[in-house]
Amino acid sequence: MKKSSLLSALSSQGVLIALALLILFGWLRYEHFLGLFNISSVLRYNSMFALVALGMCFVIMAGGIDLSVGSTAALGSVVAALLSPHGMLIGTLGGVAAGLCIGILNGLVIVRMRILPFIATLATMLAANGSALLLAQDQSVSVSYDGTFVDLGQGDIYNIPIPALIAVAAYIIGSIVLNYTGTGRAVLAIGGNEDASRLMGLPVDRVKFLVYALSGALSGLAGVILASQFGAGQPIEGVGWELFAIASVVVGGTLLTGGVGSVGATLAGVLLLGLIFNVLNFENGLGWISLSAYWQSVIRGLFLLGVVILQSRLSSKQSAA
């Protein structure tokens, strides 16, 4: 336990240092990098990914994986958009509930049918995608602008984007749950060694079920924000979100083998990967070089590469020591 917490501390500080350096670089190099507009648009856009990554973080810490988050978010956005004429609350609850349904389905298939998470969530990814397209009749569903629904994604409170506030609140709750509740500790124990946890009498099945349900609900919430921010429920959005979320979690130092992880570092991972795109835009704006947007995936990939190699070095040192 001591070994792994030391390792996670090292890796999680790594991502914080990298994030700080990137922000410093941007601040020194670009005039408006730390301007209100830029900060608020970066936060607004990335809060969706942050919510998805939070759920993914819990799933991965419990030793699983959830490939369905992207199409679940798309489904959530469609349901929210369809319900948006009934007001913000109904729209939000509907989107979250749709995501929760997919999450529950994941949990049931994985826990009851004992099917590998990879395959189970691959299947629900298809199912969510099909349901979203069915509900939306193969086109994007525009939201109602009459009520307050669009404020959720587009509004601010004290100049802070509402989606960012939601994401931060979710991360604070997530962090408390992980560190101070029995369920949170059980997540890490199960990810560390499922058989041992079962023998210790931990409610392994229930906790696994809960993390997938949570991941589904958070993806649904991300979908609600997607719909509200862009004014439409988008059934084909969310392609590749799952892998972006996994990358953020890994960059944040959470081990994919489960058992070790940090919620805060995952948030840092999301921001780091998100800021790479932002920095690229600013760099192009300076006019010295012109890198197409396609470079962002190359750079993100290289970042991920660096992090995983570093992690493997650290963990082999750990096991050698």
**Binding site residues, another protein, CB under 8 A:** 65, 67, 109, 113-116, 118-120, 122-127, 129-131, 133-134, 138, 239, 243-244, 246-247, 250, 256-257, 292-302, 304-305, 308-309, 312-313, 316
Give the C-alpha separation, 154 to 161, whole Å.
Answer: 7
User: For residue 253, is it left (φ>0), alpha (ψ between -120 and 50) or beta?
Assistant: left
Instruction: Find the shortest distance in angstroms from Cβ 162 to another protein.
Output: 29
Give the C-alpha separation, 217 to 238, whole Å.
Answer: 15
Q: How far is CA 215 from CA 10, 60, 179, 287, in A?
A: 26, 10, 18, 41
Complex with another protein: residue 111 or 225, whichever CB lies closer: 111
Instruction: Find the shortest distance in angstroms from Cβ 42 to another protein.
Output: 20
Complex with another protein: residue 181 or 312, whichever CB lies closer: 312
Tokens found for residue 130: 């099909």
Complex with another protein: residue 137 or 159, whichever CB lies closer: 137
Instruction: Find the shortest distance in angstroms from Cβ 308 to another protein.
Output: 5
Instruction: Find the shortest distance in angstroms from Cβ 312 to another protein.
Output: 4
User: Sign of the CA dihedral 160, 162, 164, 166?
Assistant: positive
Instruction: Find the shortest distance in angstroms from Cβ 124 to another protein.
Output: 7
User: Where do the H-state alpha helices sit in the chain?
Assistant: 2-29, 36-61, 69-83, 88-111, 117-136, 151-154, 162-180, 182-192, 194-199, 204-230, 241-251, 263-286, 295-320
Give the C-alpha separation, 122 to 126, whole Å.
Answer: 7
Complex with another protein: residue 15 or 166, whichever CB lies closer: 15
Instruction: Find the shortest distance in angstroms from Cβ 126 to another protein.
Output: 4
Complex with another protein: residue 106 or 197, whichever CB lies closer: 106
Complex with another protein: residue 131 or 228, whichever CB lies closer: 131
